[in-house]
Amino acid sequence: MGPLVLSDELPTSLADLLSNTLILRQTAPYLPVSSIRNLSRTSKALHYVVYESPEAFRYLDLSPVKSAIVPFDEPLDAGGINWRAERMDEALSEDDFYSGPLRGIFSRLEKSHVLRSVHTLVLDGLSVTAELINELLTEERYNVRILSIREIRHLNERKLQQYIRYAVRPSRPAGTPRVKGIYFFGPRDPAPLPASPTTKKPSTSAVRGTVPSQGAQISAEWNHKSTEALNAALTRNEEKWYRSSGKMIPKRPSHEWGEILQACEGIITFDAVLCRGPRHDPRNANIKNRSVDGNLHPASFLRPAIATIALGPSGCDSCHSSPEGPSVFGHSAPAQFPLLSPVPLHGSSVRAAQIPHTAHGSAPPPLHVRCEDCLKGRWCERCHKWWDEDCYAGSIIAQRTELQQTELMEDIQTNGTSHLIPKQTIKVHMGLCVDHCLVEEMMSGSERTRMLG
Ligand SMILES: [Zn+2]
Ligand SMILES: [Zn+2]
Ligand SMILES: [Zn+2]
């Protein structure tokens, strides 16, 4: 480290403390990027610590940064149209327009020689084009390993799919793609709980020549951020994939994503994994798709698909396992484990993002996840029980048309009892388990009718 020339106003210990890599690694991710920059302005020593240490910008969350947001995003008001028109006149492409703010930030970071220190980059909710993501995946000037692009705007998803396919092609250059993990399918991490009214968020618009108060501001902000981090830790939802949480991905991903995840196996990991249900096994591709009555054969082959439903650790309700078997962290192939939310603050490896944190260090629970098609007619949407292919052939009813299902439903209702449901095999009807949730639904339905009548 160079000679320390400290201003008198700041305690020597802060610069000393932060020049310890481990301490900086643990603390920097809790500070917004504006505070890190303010901190660097308070003394030469701190400037040195911030800009010379690879840790200060290792985790960079730009989602709350105002200058990263496209002005007049949408809806375009009159002013917005003008603003955009002015820029369009300057022969800006759509990509330039929507990724302009982020490109501006990246080039400033590059000038300060810290862009390559960014290993975890969070762009959730921002305007991010497929072209920009492609640059992050492939260009030498970036060194991002974990990229979070959940709920981003102005994304051409088909283009992104093409770029990712190309980035993982077998003839790709060694060491590419740089990005090893992408958060894309899940919802953004919940915003930290609002601070109590007494802890007013300190202003970051520091005025020149007020170094002591700037230092005080930063330390106040630091405290505020630690509280937020603690709240986030208390509400962390990273084990959700391991519980019977039901639908984990709000919008069903297009079927192309299944093939892309397959192509990315072992190269890029996502916050979702492929369904391993037996119907995706190519050995089943020969099963005739149509059975006698024209319905899909219950075992017919399915293309690769993303598992969107978390089934919990217990497996099938009858045999407590599944034909494909659960994924067990530390034993099964790493590609079987999704990146967990929230994006880890202190590590930028795929493993750090995948490892499920369990209470008292107990063994991670088995992971059962499947796609919607593999659970059709065999998963109760209410109590989340399910039955696998070995224990239940699957109700043909689940494959019938909406009209046929409604007719059956009416039959059940007029008779008022559940024993008229063909007893034999049907375990799930209209998304509810027949034994429990469907009966409960019927009862509450007739209760309502009685009360109204
Ligand atoms: Zn079973
Ligand atoms: Zn499936
Ligand atoms: Zn149920």
pLDDT digits 0-9 by tens, 217-254: 555 565 555 555 544 444 445 589 999 999 999 889 99
Please give the distance, rounded to the nearest whole angstrom, from the Cα atom of residue 18 to the centre of ligand 3: 54
| Distance of alpha carbon 169 from alpha carbon 159, whole angstroms | 15
Cα(364) to centroid(ligand 2), Å: 23
- Is residue 441 within 8 Å of residue 432, measured between CB atoms? yes
CA of 307 to the centre of ligand 1 (A): 18
The answer to whether residues 397 and 409 touch, using CB atoms and an 8 Å cutoff, is no
Long-range contacts of 318-321 (CB under 8 A, 24+ apart): 318/387, 318/388, 318/391, 318/392, 319/388, 319/390, 319/391, 321/388
pLDDT tens sequence across 390-431:
888 776 544 454 555 555 555 555 544 443 333 336 888 888
CA of 138 to the centre of ligand 2 (A): 31
118 pLDDT exceeds 70? Answer: yes
142 alpha carbon – ligand 1 mean position (Å) = 47
Q: For residues 94-111, give the mean pLDDT.
A: 87
Domain ranges across the chain: 12-194+211-233, 236-387, 395-453
Per-residue pLDDT at 397 = 47
Whole-number Å distance, alpha carbon 179 to ligand 2 midpoint, is 27
Query: What does the alpha-carbon distance between residue 338 and residue 381 come to, in Å, rounded to a whole number?
Result: 22
Find the ligand nearest to 436 CA: 3
Q: What is the mean pLDDT of residues 283-296?
A: 56
Q: How far is the CA of 437 from the centre of ligand 3 (A)?
A: 4
Distance from residue 237's CA to the centre of ligand 3 (Å): 23
What pLDDT does 202 receive? 40
Distance CA 338, CA 81 (A): 41
CA 176 to ligand 2 center in whole angstroms:
30
pLDDT in tens, 60-82: 999 988 777 776 555 444 444 55
Beta bridge partners of 146: 120, 181
Question: Can you tell me the mean pLDDT for 175-202?
Answer: 74
> What distance in angstroms lies between residue 432's CA and the mean position of ligand 3's atoms?
5
Distance 168 CA to ligand 2 centre (A): 24
Rounded to an integer, the average pLDDT of 85-114 is 79
CA distance 163 to 157: 10
- The protein residues having their C-beta less than 5 angstroms from ligand 3 (an ion) are 380, 382-383, 433, 436-437
Compute the distance from residue 292 Cα to the ligand 1 centre, in Å: 26
